[in-house]
Protein backbone atom coordinates (compact mmCIF):
# COMPACT_ATOMS: atom_id res chain seq x y z
CA UNK A 1 0.00 0.00 0.00
CA UNK A 2 1.29 3.46 -0.91
CA UNK A 3 1.68 5.90 1.96
CA UNK A 4 -0.71 8.85 1.99
CA UNK A 5 0.98 12.14 1.09
CA UNK A 6 0.74 15.15 3.38
CA UNK A 7 2.01 18.61 2.48
CA UNK A 8 2.91 20.84 5.42
CA UNK A 9 3.33 24.58 4.82
CA UNK A 10 4.68 26.29 7.95
CA UNK A 11 7.22 29.11 8.25
CA UNK A 12 8.20 28.32 11.86
CA UNK A 13 11.05 25.83 11.46
CA UNK A 14 10.50 24.21 14.86
CA UNK A 15 6.78 23.63 14.30
CA UNK A 16 7.48 22.39 10.76
CA UNK A 17 9.97 19.84 12.09
CA UNK A 18 7.61 18.73 14.88
CA UNK A 19 4.71 18.20 12.46
CA UNK A 20 6.99 16.43 9.99
CA UNK A 21 8.28 14.11 12.73
CA UNK A 22 4.81 13.37 14.13
CA UNK A 23 3.25 12.58 10.76
CA UNK A 24 6.14 10.65 9.24
CA UNK A 25 6.03 8.56 12.43
CA UNK A 26 2.43 7.70 11.50
CA UNK A 27 3.69 6.28 8.16
CA UNK A 28 2.61 9.23 6.05
CA UNK A 29 4.83 10.54 3.27
CA UNK A 30 5.49 14.15 4.30
CA UNK A 31 6.48 17.10 2.11
CA UNK A 32 7.50 20.17 4.12
CA UNK A 33 7.65 23.77 2.87
CA UNK A 34 8.23 27.09 4.63
CA UNK A 35 6.50 29.46 2.19
CA UNK A 36 2.95 29.73 0.91
CA UNK A 37 3.74 30.09 -2.79
CA UNK A 38 3.16 26.39 -3.40
CA UNK A 39 0.30 25.95 -5.90
CA UNK A 40 2.73 24.51 -8.46
CA UNK A 41 4.17 22.12 -5.86
CA UNK A 42 0.65 21.07 -4.88
CA UNK A 43 -0.03 20.19 -8.52
CA UNK A 44 3.27 18.33 -8.77
CA UNK A 45 2.94 16.34 -5.53
CA UNK A 46 -0.87 15.96 -5.49
CA UNK A 47 -0.99 15.49 -1.72
CA UNK A 48 -3.83 13.67 -0.02
CA UNK A 49 -4.00 16.43 2.61
CA UNK A 50 -2.52 19.89 3.26
CA UNK A 51 -1.68 21.34 6.69
CA UNK A 52 -1.05 25.06 6.34
CA UNK A 53 -0.12 27.83 8.75
CA UNK A 54 -2.25 30.95 8.35
CA UNK A 55 0.59 33.49 8.63
CA UNK A 56 3.21 32.88 5.95
CA UNK A 57 5.82 35.15 4.35
CA UNK A 58 4.18 36.95 1.44
CA UNK A 59 0.73 35.41 1.82
CA UNK A 60 -1.80 33.93 4.21
CA UNK A 61 -2.95 30.37 4.52
CA UNK A 62 -6.53 31.55 4.05
CA UNK A 63 -5.62 32.99 0.63
CA UNK A 64 -3.86 29.79 -0.42
CA UNK A 65 -6.93 27.83 0.71
CA UNK A 66 -9.26 30.05 -1.34
CA UNK A 67 -7.06 29.58 -4.43
CA UNK A 68 -6.99 25.83 -3.92
CA UNK A 69 -10.72 25.51 -3.31
CA UNK A 70 -11.47 27.56 -6.46
CA UNK A 71 -9.34 25.25 -8.61
CA UNK A 72 -9.35 21.69 -9.85
CA UNK A 73 -7.49 20.81 -6.61
CA UNK A 74 -10.53 21.64 -4.45
CA UNK A 75 -10.97 18.01 -3.39
CA UNK A 76 -7.71 18.02 -1.37
CA UNK A 77 -8.52 18.42 2.34
CA UNK A 78 -7.03 21.68 3.65
CA UNK A 79 -6.40 22.11 7.37
CA UNK A 80 -5.55 25.61 8.57
CA UNK A 81 -3.18 26.05 11.54
CA UNK A 82 -2.94 29.27 13.54
CA UNK A 83 -2.71 31.03 16.88
CA UNK A 84 -5.48 33.39 15.78
CA UNK A 85 -8.37 33.78 18.20
CA UNK A 86 -10.72 34.02 15.20
CA UNK A 87 -9.40 30.81 13.60
CA UNK A 88 -12.81 29.12 13.47
CA UNK A 89 -14.34 31.96 11.45
CA UNK A 90 -11.28 32.33 9.23
CA UNK A 91 -11.28 28.60 8.44
CA UNK A 92 -14.98 28.64 7.57
CA UNK A 93 -14.67 31.82 5.47
CA UNK A 94 -11.83 30.46 3.32
CA UNK A 95 -13.36 27.02 2.83
CA UNK A 96 -10.85 25.04 4.92
CA UNK A 97 -11.97 21.53 5.77
CA UNK A 98 -10.79 21.87 9.36
CA UNK A 99 -8.41 23.80 11.58
CA UNK A 100 -5.91 23.25 14.38
CA UNK A 101 -5.34 25.89 17.04
CA UNK A 102 -1.76 26.55 18.17
CA UNK A 103 -0.41 25.46 20.52
CA UNK A 104 -1.66 22.08 19.40
CA UNK A 105 -1.90 18.70 21.04
CA UNK A 106 -0.09 15.90 19.16
CA UNK A 107 -3.03 13.51 19.57
CA UNK A 108 -5.36 16.17 18.14
CA UNK A 109 -3.15 16.58 15.05
CA UNK A 110 -3.01 12.82 14.47
CA UNK A 111 -6.78 12.50 14.97
CA UNK A 112 -7.75 15.36 12.64
CA UNK A 113 -5.36 14.17 9.93
CA UNK A 114 -6.68 10.60 10.20
CA UNK A 115 -10.26 11.88 9.88
CA UNK A 116 -9.51 13.27 6.42
CA UNK A 117 -7.36 10.37 5.23
- pLDDT values of the chain reduced to their tens digit, one per residue, 117 residues: 689 999 999 999 999 999 999 999 999 999 999 987 788 899 999 999 999 999 998 889 999 999 999 999 999 999 999 998 888 899 999 999 999 999 999 999 999 999 999
Helix axes 87-94, 61-69, angle to 10 degrees: 30
Query: What CATH number corresponds to the domain at position 70?
Result: 3.40.50.2300
Say which DSSP state 56 is in: E
Give residue 39's pLDDT.
84
The answer as to whether 108 is a domain residue is yes
Residue 105 lies in a domain: yes
Residue 59 covered by a domain: no
Number of structural domains found in the chain = 1
Q: How far apart, in whole angstroms, are the C-alpha atoms of residue 63 and residue 103? A: 22
Is 79 inside any structural domain? yes
Q: What range does the domain containing 16 cover?
A: 5-52+64-116
The pTM of this model reads: 0.94
Amino acid sequence: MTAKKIMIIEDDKDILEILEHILSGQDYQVFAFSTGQQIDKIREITPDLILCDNWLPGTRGTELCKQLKASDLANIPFILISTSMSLTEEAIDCGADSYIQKPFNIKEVISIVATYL
